[in-house]
Structure 1
Amino acid sequence: MVKLSSLVWGALAVGHVVSKDIYADKRRISLGTGSDVWMDEAEIHALVRNNQRFRDITDMGPQVERSRASNMSVFPTKVTQQAVVNPLLRQVSDTVPQNVLRNLTSFHNRYYNGDFGRQSSEYLFQTVSTILGKHGQVTRFAHKFPQSS
Structure 2
Amino acid sequence: MKLTDLLYLKSGRILMTGNPRRIARIILNEWARQGWKILAEGVPFQIEGEVFIGDPFKNPGFDVYLILNPLSRTGQEKERLHQWLTLNQDKLVVLYEHRYVGDSITRYAIKNFIDYLLAYRRETVDTERVNLYRLENGKVVESARLIRRR
The answer to whether the superposition gives a TM-score over 0.5 is: no
TM-score normalised by L of structure 2: 0.23
Structure with bigger gyration radius: 1
Q: Which is helix-richer, 1 or 2?
A: 1
TM-score normalised by L of structure 1: 0.24
